[in-house]
Amino acid sequence: MTGTERESRAETDALAGAIAGEAARLALPLPTGAADRLARYATSLWSWNERLNLTRHTDVVRFVARDVGDAAAIAGHLAQGERVLDVGTGGGAPGIILAILRPDLRVELCDSVVKKARAVSAIAAEAGLTVPVHAVAAQELVARRPAGEDRFDSLVVRAVAPLVKLLGWFEPIGHAYGRLLVVKGPRWEEELAAARETRLARQRTVRRIATWPLPGTPNQSVLLEVRAAAGRA
């Protein structure tokens, strides 16, 4: 190992330790080896972020509290072996982190912004992860795979669009996937009320399935599950 490689390894080890410490402080359990993989991902993400605007969470505290925290909350509501699509992944969260926390999942990512999708693909490779990244709109990708082994069980959405827009985008292909899992912040009830004023509210059932604190604030994040309404396939 060269001096540069030893220095890089030491930096990764230090970051992994900081991530593990912050996760412990927030009572976020990490699987064995996850802190090291998260450190490699964060290192690559932050490096790419200097060239592209991929994330605002560029320190350990925000990375763990927001990115790892959100992914951990989602992970608890995914069944063994689910096929998951991270919609509009941006910098790879929560999709890449889900793949780290839950290796049993079949995680894929997509972003319609080609340069972001290419960057995330490089980030995953640099972090030693095998995660498919698609440079295409999620609706198009989902519509191509309405049945069989490749059909998505859950579409995970975070910080992409208001709820009413999401429902409008995915309602025409509602038969082609299992459910939407949508991470929302303090204004989720306003967004839900706006969605219920449209016909979409009668076609989809929206329920809150998880709530967790936003560290450092009095607010909470929520996980909304969106499924076809009773009687609609």
The pLDDT value recorded for residue 194 is 86
The pLDDT value recorded for residue 9 is 74
The pLDDT value recorded for residue 71 is 97
The pLDDT value recorded for residue 4 is 58
Q: What is the pTM of this model?
A: 0.93
Strand blocks (E) in 16-146: 83-87, 106-110, 133-134
Ranges of residues in the chain whose predicted pLDDT is under 50:
none
Contact 175, 233 (CB under 8 A): yes
Place domain 62-228 in its CATH homologous superfamily: Vaccinia Virus protein VP39 (3.40.50.150)
**181 SS3 class:** strand
CA distance 94 to 77: 14
133 φ/ψ angles, rounded to the nearest 5 degrees: -125, 125
Helix (H) or strand (E) holding 167: helix 163-170
- Looking at residue 63, what DSSP letter applies? I
